[in-house]
Amino acid sequence: MEVLPKKGKKACTMCRQQKAKCDVWRDESVPCSRCRKRNLECTVDDSFTREHKRRRYIALEHENERWRQLQTSQQLNPDSVPIALSTAATELGVPSVLKSDAQLDDSQGLSLAYPQYHLAPAGPTPAPMMGGNDPANSRSLKSVTVTGGEIDDLFFRHYASFLPILDAQIKPNSYYAQSPFLFWAVIGVASRSYSRNPTLQTALAQEVTEMAFLSVLSTCAPWYTIQGLLLLLTWPFPKENRPDVTFPLSGMLLHVAMQNGFHIPMSSHEFSRVKIPASSDLDMVRRSELWAHCVLVYQRSCVTKGQSPRNLVSLAQDTIQRQVLFDKIAPHLVQKLRCQEVVGKCSEEVLENGFRAMSLDQELALDILLRKYEGEVDDIALQAVVDDEKYHLLLCRMAIQSFHFYKNQTLVSSGCLPRLIVTACNLIDYVQGLADRMGSLFMAPVQISFGLLLASMSLLRILKSDYASSGLDTSRAQASFFATINLAKQMSTDRSDTAAKMITVLNQLWISSKAFRKSDGSEYTALRIRSRLILSQILDAVWWWRDEYDPNGRAKMQGTESVDGPSRINIPPGIEAGRAVIGTDPTLDARGIIHSSRPLQGEFQINEDYLTNFEWMSDEIFSFPPDASLLNNLP
C-alpha cells in the first residue's frame, strides 16, 4: 500500500517570514490569530520565499563599500561624466548612502539602468557633474543675490544627518544645473542658521515657497522636485504674515511621488513617459528609501496639523507591498515608518471611538485603546536596531498618551498622568542630550520642535492642575518644563518662528493664575478644543493664553461680537448629547469665554466654519508677534 507524503499545514506570509506559529490553515478566509492580534495583513502566498533581512542589508552595505573602493581606484575624469548621471537612473536620484556608483561607467560591469537622454534635464548638457574644484557661482533669485562664497558656506552644513537625501560630493553649480528649485531649497534651509547674513532666510522665504508650488511644472526630473519639497517641509520657513502652506505642500509631495511610481518601486518603470527597462534591485532600494522619506514627512505634516494621516496600507496597491518596502529599506527607516503608522492607526480608532462629548464608557474604551497602542510601541522598541532613533519612539508614545487629555471623568483614576510625566520628561531629556552632543539646536527639524511643544504643554497642564500635589513627580516635571524653554532658545533662528513663540507662551502660561481655571478659581479639566486630534491640547493651551493676554485677537478672529454685545454661537451638529450634559446653551462673553448655568466640562462650543479656517500649527500655531522682552525674562 502506497503511503502518501504528509502535507504540511499552510501559513501566511507574515508568520512564515517571522517563523511563527500560524493557524490560517483552519480557515484561509479569516486572518490568523497572530495577524489579528498585531493588526497585520494576513495573506497566503504559495510562492512566497522567506528572506533573511539582516543578511540582505549587510550584503548591500558590503556591495556599496566595494563600489566606493572602485570609485577611489578609478580616479574618473569629472569632465567625462555628464551631470545627468549624478542620480541613479531616470527620475531617481540617489540617497547619500548609495550614491557612489553613479560615477561608474559601463566598463566596470555596472551598466546604467536607463538611457542618458532620460536622465538629463531639458536644455543643453551642463558643466561636469561633480563640478571639480570650481568655486560656486553667484546666483540671484529676483532681488536676492547670494555670492559664491556664501553658497559654498551654506551647502551641506549640519542638516544632512537629519535628512540624508543629498550627495555632498556634488557641487552647488551642478545642483543648480540639475534643478534651480532644489538648489534654492538647500540655500533656503541652510540660511536659517547663517550668521554672516541673518537677513537671508527672510529674504528668500517668499520666493522659494513660490518656486515650490511651481516646481510641478518644471521639466527637471521629479526626483529633484521631491528632494526640494522634503527639505522645505522638514525645515519650513517661519510664517510671518504669509498663509500657511506646509499642509498643501505635503499633499503635493506625496502625489508627485505617486505620479512617478515611487510608491511601487518594483513597477516604477510603468509610470515613465518613455519605454525603459525595469528597475534593478539597487534602484528599487533607492526609490523605496525616497518613498519612505515622502511618507514620513507627509504623515508628520498631518499629525502636526491635527489631521489623521493616510497610512501605508491605504497607499499600497497590494497587501504584501508594505512588507516588500520594509525588506528593502534601512532598518532605522522601517522603525520610523512603524512609529508613524502606529500614530496614524491610533488616531483613526480614537475618531471611531468618539471624542466630542465622551461618556464614561467611551472614556474607558479610550483608555483600553491607548494601552493597546502603547503596547505596540513597546514591540517596536524591542526590535529597534539604532539607539539614536530613540526620539521617534518617544514622540510616538507621547503622541498616543496625549489622547488621555480628552478624558474628564477618568483622567486621574486611569493612572495615566504619571506615565505622561515620565514620557514627556524622557523626550525632553533626549533633546537636551542631542543639544549637548551637537552644541546647538538651530538645525533641529520640525518633528523635534513639535515633540518639545507637545511634551511641554502636557507637563504644563499637569503642573497647573490640582493633581500636581497628589503624589506625582512634579520636581522632575518642573525641571523638564524649564529645560524646554532653554532648549527653545537654542532652536530659535527668527523672532517669528515656532521656538520663539513657544518661549513667550510657555513663560506667560506658567506665571498665569487664570490658565486652566474657571472664573471662581476652580480647575477646568476638559479640553475646549476637541477636533484636532493630537494637536488639540496644544491649541487648547494657546486659547487659554489668548484669553488672558490677547483677548482682542481672539474676539477679532472669532467674529462673534456685535455692536450690541456678544452674540450666541452656533452649535455644531451632533453636539446635542453634550448640551444635555451641560444643561443649557452656552454663550460667549466679551472675552470669548463660554458661560453656562452649570460648570462646563465638555465640548467647547464654537462654529465649525471657524475651525475650518483655523490656521494655527507649528510655525502657524501662535498667530501673534512675539514679545522680545520675554525672551530674556524666563523662570
pLDDT of 608 above 50: no
Domain count, the chain: 2
CB neighbourhood size of 515 (10 A): 19
DSSP β-bridge partners for residue 562: 565
Instruction: Give CA–CA dist 42/28, Å, rounded.
Output: 9
441 lies in a domain?
no
Q: Which of 329, 345, 375 is the last residue of a domain?
A: 329
Burial class (CB in 10 A: 0-12, 13-18, 19+), 20: middle
Q: Which of 329, 357, 388 is the last residue of a domain?
A: 329
Question: 624 lies in which domain range?
Answer: 526-635
Q: What is the pLDDT of residues 192-249, one digit of tens each?
A: 888 889 899 999 999 999 999 999 998 888 999 999 999 999 999 987 777 889 999 9
374 lies in a domain?
no
**Least trusted range by pLDDT, from 347-356, 473-482, 568-577:** 568-577
Q: For the residues 294-315, what does the mean pLDDT come to?
A: 87
Q: For the residues 491-514, what does the mean pLDDT come to?
A: 91
214 lies in a domain?
yes
Supply the pTM of this predicted model.
Answer: 0.70
Beta strand residue intervals within 128-272, DSSP E: 139-141, 144-146
pLDDT of 621 above 70: no
pLDDT of 128 above 70: no
Q: Which of 329, 363, 385 is the last residue of a domain?
A: 329
Instruction: Give CA–CA dist 73/100, Å, rounded.
Output: 12
Q: For the residues 62-91, what does the mean pLDDT come to?
A: 42
CB neighbourhood size of 577 (10 A): 15
381 lies in a domain?
no
93 lies in a domain?
yes
Kindly report the length of the chain. Answer: 635
CA angle 212, 216, 220 (to 5 degrees): 100
309 lies in a domain?
yes
What pLDDT does 632 receive?
A: 41
339 lies in a domain?
no
272 lies in a domain?
yes
Mean pLDDT estimate for the chain: 75
CA dihedral 250, 254, 255, 259 (to 10 degrees): 150
Using the 8-state DSSP alphabet, how is residue 377 labeled? Answer: H
Q: What is the pLDDT of residues 357-377, one digit of tens each?
A: 899 999 999 999 999 999 999
What pLDDT does 130 receive?
A: 46
